Amino acid sequence: MSTSPLESTVRGSKAQLKQLPSVDRVLKLPAVSVLIDAHGRAFVSGEVRALLLDWREARLLGKPVHAVDEASIAAALSARIDARLTVLHTNLGRALLPDEAIVAVAQAMRAPTNLEIDLDSGERGDRDTLIEKLVCELTGAQAATVVNNNASAVLLTIAALGAKREVIVSRGELVEIGGSFRMPDVMKCAGAKMIEVGTTNRTHARDFVGAITAKTALLMKVHASNYVVRGFTAAVGEDQLADIAHRAGLPLAVDLGSGSLVDLAQYGLPHEPMPQEALASGADIVTFSGDKLLGGPQAGLIVGKREWISKIKKHPIKRALRVSKLTLAALEATLALYRHPEQLMTRLPTLRLLTRPLAEIDALAKSVAPAPARAVGAQFDVACGAVHSQIGSGSLPIDLLPSAGLFVRCRESKSTGRRLNALAAALRRLPVPVIGRIADNALILDLRTLEDEAAFVAQLPRLNVRPIES
Ligand SMILES: *Cc1c(COP(=O)(O)O)cnc(C)c1O
């Protein structure tokens, strides 16, 4: 192993340990004060303490140690801080918000808002009023309310309408979505008794009719958003289910999961159920997500008939699940874009990326490829090729969109798995993490969502593929 000028291979000794400076001394170094200005004293001192602990431990174990001059301390600290900050944004966080929403959130943070004041009367207002009008306009609902996410929307709906009573749902729709949200558990949490009807693959109208008793509070339909049942199947449609519910004087709630406010088929995408369709079919309450296909902030929307929505709004859990002014600002700005459907494809990032023309992604792949080819080094080879994008977040689970991307393969056939993993990890450590997937002996980067090509290329010189251990 070669020894850089900053390293010494002396084994640890008491004298060596004593050479480590104190946290205070490090914090006073001019090169470190630059880091304090950028990231704050508390964060930097925590990192200094952790770095010195690591070094102390390394010395005790007799490992090669870093020199403790100012430049090496500052460099190690800065690398450590980079790594920390990178980890803090690795989560991909669902929908990218439109610029209009970003501006609205900034404004809501900076200045007082009319969140809970009725500007006409000067009295205390309802924080849902503004957004409710817009949601009703777009979905055709009589009333609407907003909570923290769609999971909250479902929980609140069942708690408000079905607690201590029975809620009927098809066995084919007992969804589990990521993060341990399972329909049977949600029913239990909400205090309702779940009555399952039908079978995994087939449920009929008569199954629902036969299950209705004096204890029934609600019929429920759950959109199977992250799986499909294929083959010998039958399900009861919303219109028929609404009919069955209404004849018994009961409401029908439909959980759409994603729920798109526009017909995705007009953009050449697979059709995804729309809240306005569910309402038109007779559903009394419809719940859907703000940050899936809608393309806004994390939120759960509950829309439907006034009678039920007002019951939902009055339930004590509503206060615990309500959204902040920032969410409302972002949601309002996102929803306002839907008033101009012809501009959605350019202004709403979710839709823009879903409908991005293949030819454009293909051309991007060709123009961008040389930069990563240089950055990954001689052990890899970079080629352009056809890939398929998955939509994700429990939307359109089996539909894949044709896309284009980069295929990085190892030139040598030895340890290709480990080499590709090391490269994938290095890409994830970049200031703006790049997330690839490994399949067919290649690391694949789907370029559908790459919009800032210059920023991607500019950070590539920082790519640091750690050598694999043999
Ligand atoms: C995604 C989803 C939810 C939960 O929505 P969040 O906004 O993630 O809380 C609930 N039900 C279905 C059917 C879903 O697909």
What confidence score (pLDDT) does residue 380 get? 96
Q: Distance between CA atoms of 264 and 78, rounded to whole angstroms? A: 46
What confidence score (pLDDT) does residue 94 get? 80
Ligand 1 pocket member 257 (CB < 6 A) = yes
Q: Distance between CA atoms of 337 and 313, rounded to whole angstroms? A: 26
Q: Distance between CA atoms of 23 and 392, rounded to whole angstroms? A: 45
Ligand 1 pocket member 300 (CB < 6 A) = yes
Q: Distance between CA atoms of 53 and 268, rounded to whole angstroms? A: 57
3-state SS, the chain, equals CCCCCCEECCCCCHHHHHCCCCHHHHHHCHHHHHHHHHHCHHHHHHHHHHHHHHHHHHHHCCCCEECCCHHHHHHHHHHHHHHHHHHHCCCCCCCCCCHHHHHHHHHHHHCCCCCCECCCCCCECCCCHHHHHHHHHHHCCCEEEEECCHHHHHHHHHHHHHCCCEEEEEHHHCCEECCCEEHHHHHHHCCCEEEEECCCCECCHHHHHHHCCCCEEEEEEECCCCCCCCCCCECCCHHHHHHHHHHCCCCEEEEEECCCCCCHHHHCCCCCCCHHHHHHCCCCEEEEECCCCCCCCCCEEEEECHHHHHHHHHCHHHHHHCCCHHHHHHHHHHHHHCCCHHHHHHHCHHHHHHCCCHHHHHHHHHHHCHHHHHHHCCCEEEEEEEEEEEEECCEEEEEEEEEEEEEEEECCCCCHHHHHHHHHHHHHCCCCCCCCEEECCEEEEECCCCCCHHHHHHHHHHCCCCCCCC
Integer CA distances (angstroms), 235 to 198, 230, 324, in order: 9, 11, 38
Distance 150 CA to ligand 1 centre (A): 5
Integer CA distances (angstroms), 178 to 68, 175, 225, 269, in order: 46, 10, 11, 24
Which atom of ligand 1 sits closest to the CA of residue 175? 13
Instruction: Show pLDDT as tens, one digit a residue, over the chain (470 residues).
Output: 343 333 343 444 555 666 788 999 999 998 888 888 877 788 788 889 988 888 888 888 887 767 778 888 888 888 777 665 443 233 466 888 999 999 999 999 888 777 666 777 777 777 788 899 999 999 999 999 999 999 999 999 999 999 999 999 999 999 888 777 899 999 999 999 999 999 999 999 999 999 999 999 999 999 987 788 888 999 999 999 999 999 999 999 999 998 899 999 999 888 999 999 999 999 999 999 999 999 999 999 999 999 999 999 999 999 999 999 999 999 999 999 999 999 999 999 999 999 999 999 999 999 999 999 999 999 999 999 998 887 766 566 667 889 999 999 999 988 899 999 999 999 999 988 898 888 889 999 999 989 989 999 999 999 999 888 76
Distance 260 CA to ligand 1 centre (A): 13
Q: Distance between CA atoms of 116 and 102, rounded to whole angstroms? A: 21
User: From atom 6 of ligand 1, which residue's Cα is the shortest distance away?
Assistant: 150
Q: Distance between CA atoms of 88 and 79, rounded to whole angstroms? A: 14
Asked if 95 and 298 touch (Cβ cutoff 8 Å), the reply is no
Ligand 1 pocket member 223 (CB < 6 A) = yes
Ligand 1 pocket member 177 (CB < 6 A) = yes
Integer CA distances (angstroms), 405 to 147, 337, 442, in order: 37, 30, 11
pTM reported for the whole predicted model: 0.79
What confidence score (pLDDT) does residue 397 get? 63
What confidence score (pLDDT) does residue 79 get? 77
User: From atom 3 of ligand 1, which residue's Cα is the shortest distance away?
Assistant: 257
Nearest to 381 by CA among 330, 343, 419, 333: 419
Ligand 1 pocket member 282 (CB < 6 A) = no
What confidence score (pLDDT) does residue 470 get? 63
What confidence score (pLDDT) does residue 205 get? 97
Pick left, alpha or beta for residue 282 (phi over 0 → left; psi -120 to 50 → alpha; otherwise beta).
left
Q: Distance between CA atoms of 298 and 179, rounded to whole angstroms? A: 15
What confidence score (pLDDT) does residue 88 get? 29
Distance 125 CA to ligand 1 centre (A): 29
Asked if 313 and 319 touch (Cβ cutoff 8 Å), the reply is no
Ligand 1 pocket member 295 (CB < 6 A) = no
Q: Distance between CA atoms of 316 and 190, rounded to whole angstroms? A: 12
What confidence score (pLDDT) does residue 17 get? 62
Ligand 1 pocket member 222 (CB < 6 A) = yes
